[in-house]
């Protein structure tokens, strides 16, 4: 097991270097003046241009720039915005809100999606199966911003069950509806994925053998059937958590959540290259760690994988 984890960790190193270099290249190595539009309509002051050139080594090759940037990054220095604000402070202030929102979305999509998938996989072609298929198809066809605006208007404005916007601290109870909105598409995918996996594995020889031995159906489903059917669902959930943290821009904008996605959007609009790079590097690292966790869960669910 230790070699399995070590091999996966070593595989993450070139992926991390390649993705972060590509991101840095896209932001800082675009043709033309790197400071064009960085100070609004007016031209950037010479002192500002000189300071940023020295800080990011813009007068040297892109490889030297990237090297110095990563050295500072590993020391905890994410740089500053053009207004002199520490990017590390922005991440520390907004990242917890996005983590809470993404966790709420994953919990909702896992509980509802997996429950619906297991029930419909065990009882196919019934009323519940058709209801879940129609509901998931509806969620897949509905854009996230439409779901968010409808729930915000109905539950927050008309019925006043929830706050239309989330408070600054983003308490968990106020993230239930935004979490449902963020995870609605993934919830539909999980329900369908679990339904298909359960239905396929139910016809397996090991399931028929367990039933023939007289094992209770609860044990057959919980120990044998569900464990083997969880591998594709775990894959989706693990990668989805990393994707949700970077893809929460629309949901955070609708419900007024000061999260990392909103900061990325503002950085793109205001052309704050250092902010965009710093935040995306953190997101890449989280995404890679989530994939590592999925690989470890593979080995737990199926011990044969660790020896491959």
User: Which domain covers residue 206, as residue numbers?
Assistant: 94-307
How far apart are alpha carbons 203 and 74 in whole angstroms?
Answer: 51
- Measured over the CA atoms of residue 189, residue 195, residue 197 and residue 198, the dihedral's sign is positive
Residue with tokens 């740089």: 79
Count of beta carbons in the 10 Å neighbourhood of residue 117: 26
Q: What are the backbone angles phi and psi of residue 301, rounded to the nearest 5°?
A: -70, -35
Q: Give a yes or no: residue 121 inside a domain.
A: yes
Q: Residue 104 to residues 132, 206, 294: CA-CA distances in angstroms?
A: 21, 35, 19
**C-alpha angle with apex 241: 279 to 16, nearest 5 degrees?**
50
Q: What are the backbone angles phi and psi of residue 60, rounded to the nearest 5°?
A: -115, 180
pLDDT at 152: 94
How far apart are alpha carbons 104 and 170 in whole angstroms?
Answer: 11
Give residue 151's Cα distance to chain centre: 22
What is the maximum span of the chain, computed from C-alpha positions, in angstroms? 82
Q: Around 242, how many Cα atoms within 13 Å sit in the side-chain half-sphere? A: 20
Q: Give a yes or no: residue 51 inside a domain.
A: no
Cβ 215 vs Cβ 140: under 8 Å:
no
Q: Which residues contact 177 (CB under 8 A, 6 or more apart)?
A: 151, 152, 155, 156, 162, 255
Q: Give a yes or no: residue 140 inside a domain.
A: yes
Q: Give a yes or no: residue 37 inside a domain.
A: no
Q: Give a yes or no: residue 151 inside a domain.
A: yes
Q: Give a yes or no: residue 149 inside a domain.
A: yes
Q: Give a yes or no: residue 136 inside a domain.
A: yes
How far apart are alpha carbons 235 and 241 in whole angstroms?
Answer: 10
Q: Going residue by residue through the chain (308 aa), what tens digit of pLDDT does each one get?
A: 677 778 878 888 898 999 889 988 887 766 666 676 666 667 777 887 888 788 778 788 888 989 988 898 888 888 887 777 889 999 999 989 999 999 999 999 999 999 999 889 888 888 888 899 899 999 888 888 899 999 999 999 999 999 999 998 889 999 999 999 999 999 999 999 999 999 888 888 888 888 888 888 888 888 778 877 888 888 888 778 777 877 688 899 899 999 988 888 888 777 777 888 888 888 888 888 888 888 777 767 666 665 45
Cβ 112 vs Cβ 121: under 8 Å:
no
Q: Give a yes or no: residue 193 inside a domain.
A: yes
CATH assignment at residue 129 = 1.10.3720.10
Closest C-alpha among 185, 155, 166 to residue 247? 185
Q: Which residues contact 234 (CB under 8 A, 6 or more apart)?
A: 294, 297, 298, 301
How far apart are alpha carbons 221 and 202 in whole angstroms?
Answer: 9
How far apart are alpha carbons 253 and 60 in whole angstroms?
Answer: 38
Q: Based on the structure, what is the number of domains in the chain?
A: 1
Cβ 292 vs Cβ 285: under 8 Å:
no
């Amino acid at each position: 097991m230790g070699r399995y984890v070590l091999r996966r960790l070593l595989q993450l190193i070139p992926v991390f270097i390649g993705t972060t270099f590509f991101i840095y290249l896209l932001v800082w190595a675009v043709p033309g003046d790197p400071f064009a539009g960085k100070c609004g309509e007016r031209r950037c002051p010479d002192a500002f241009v000189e300071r940023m050139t020295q800080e990011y080594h813009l007068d040297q090759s892109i490889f030297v720039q990237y090297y110095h940037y990563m050295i500072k990054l590993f020391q905890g220095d994410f740089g500053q915005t053009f207004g002199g604000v520490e990017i590390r402070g922005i991440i520390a202030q907004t990242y917890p809100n996005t983590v809470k929102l993404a966790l709420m979305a994953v919990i909702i999509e896992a509980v509802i999606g997996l429950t619906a998938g297991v029930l419909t996989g065990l009882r196919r072609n019934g009323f519940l199966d058709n209801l879940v298929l129609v509901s998931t198809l509806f969620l897949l066809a509905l854009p996230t911003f439409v779901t968010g605006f409808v729930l915000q208007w109905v539950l927050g404005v008309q019925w006043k069950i929830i706050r239309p916007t989330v408070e600054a601290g983003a308490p968990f109870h106020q993230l239930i509806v935004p979490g449902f909105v963020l995870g609605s598409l993934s919830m539909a995918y999980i329900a369908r994925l679990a339904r298909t996996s359960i239905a396929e594995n139910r016809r397996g020889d090991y399931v028929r053998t367990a039933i023939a031995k007289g094992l209770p159906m609860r044990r057959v489903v919980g120990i044998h059937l569900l464990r083997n059917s969880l591998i594709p669902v775990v894959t989706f959930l693990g990668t989805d958590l990393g994707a949700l943290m970077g893809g929460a821009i629309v949901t955070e904008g609708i419900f007024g959540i000061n999260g990392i996605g909103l900061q990325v959007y503002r950085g793109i609009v205001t052309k704050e290259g250092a902010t965009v790079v710093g935040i995306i590097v953190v997101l890449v690292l989280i995404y890679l760690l989530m994939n590592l966790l999925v690989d470890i869960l593979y080995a737990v669910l199926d011990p044969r994988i660790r020896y491959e």
